[in-house]
Amino acid sequence: MFETRTHLFAFLLFSVIPVSIVAGPAVSLIIILLINLLFIFSIIKNKEINLCYSQTVKLLFFIYIYLIFNSLISLDLYMGASRNFGFLRFIIFFIAMNYFFYKYKNFNNFLYAWIVILILFVVDVYIEAILGKNILGYSSKLSERVVSFFKDEQIAGSFINGFIFLLVGFLHNFTKSKSKNYKIAVILFSVFFLIAIILTGERSNSIKAMLGFLVFYFFYDEISPKKKLFSIIGLIGILFIMYNSSNFLKLRYEGQLFNLISSKEKIINFYNKNIYFDIQRTSIIVFKSYPLFGVGNKNFRVETCDEQKNVKYNYICQTHPHQIYFEFLAEHGIIGTVFLLGILFFLVFRILRTIIFSKNYLQLGCFIYILLVFTPILPSGAFFSQFNANLFWINFSILYALSKNTNIFFNKQKI
One-letter amino acid of 152: D
**Angstrom distance (rounded) from CA 174 to CA 176:** 6
**Angstrom distance (rounded) from CA 135 to CA 127:** 7
Alpha helices in 87-155 (DSSP H): 88-103, 110-131
Query: CB of 366 within 8 A of CB of 398?
Result: yes
Alpha helices in 46-109 (DSSP H): 55-73, 77-86, 88-103
Between the alpha carbon of residue 323 and those of residues 162, 283, 329, 330, 377, the distances in Å are 17, 10, 10, 11, 7
Query: CB of 205 within 8 A of CB of 157?
Result: yes
Per-residue pLDDT of the chain (415 residues; tens, 9 = 90+): 667 788 889 999 999 999 999 999 999 999 999 999 999 998 888 777 665 578 899 999 999 999 999 999 998 888 888 899 999 999 999 999 999 998 888 888 999 999 999 999 999 999 998 888 888 888 776 667 788 888 878 888 899 999 999 999 999 887 777 777 777 888 888 888 988 998 888 888 888 988 898 888 888 877 667 666 766 676 666 666 655 555 555 555 555 555 555 555 554 454 455 667 788 888 898 999 999 999 999 998 888 888 888 777 788 888 888 899 999 999 999 999 999 999 999 999 999 888 888 888 999 999 999 999 999 888 888 899 999 999 999 999 999 998 888 988 877 666 7
Long-range contact pairs involving 64-67 (C-beta distance under 8 Å, separation at least 24): 64/88, 64/91, 66/336, 66/339, 66/340, 67/297
Q: Which of 193, 170, 183 is CA-nearest to residue 363?
A: 170
Between the alpha carbon of residue 234 and those of residues 119, 229, 340, the distances in Å are 22, 9, 41
Between the alpha carbon of residue 154 and those of residues 199, 342, 370, the distances in Å are 12, 31, 21
In this structure, is the dihedral angle defined by the CA atoms of residues 342, 348, 351 and 356, taken in order, positive or negative? Answer: negative
Query: CB of 333 within 8 A of CB of 303?
Result: no
Spell out the residues 6+ positions from residue 358 whose beta carbon is closer than 8 angstroms to its own: 403, 405
Residue 87, helix vs strand vs coil: coil
Residue 175, helix vs strand vs coil: coil
Query: CB of 364 within 8 A of CB of 216?
Result: yes
- Give the global pTM: 0.89
- Tally DSSP H helices, then E strands, for the chain: 20, 0
**Angstrom distance (rounded) from CA 82 to CA 238:** 45
Long-range contact pairs involving 63-69 (C-beta distance under 8 Å, separation at least 24): 63/87, 63/340, 63/343, 63/344, 64/88, 64/91, 66/336, 66/339, 66/340, 67/297
pLDDT score, position 189: 86
Spell out the residues 6+ positions from residue 137 whose beta carbon is closer than 8 angstroms to its own: none
**Angstrom distance (rounded) from CA 334 to CA 356:** 32
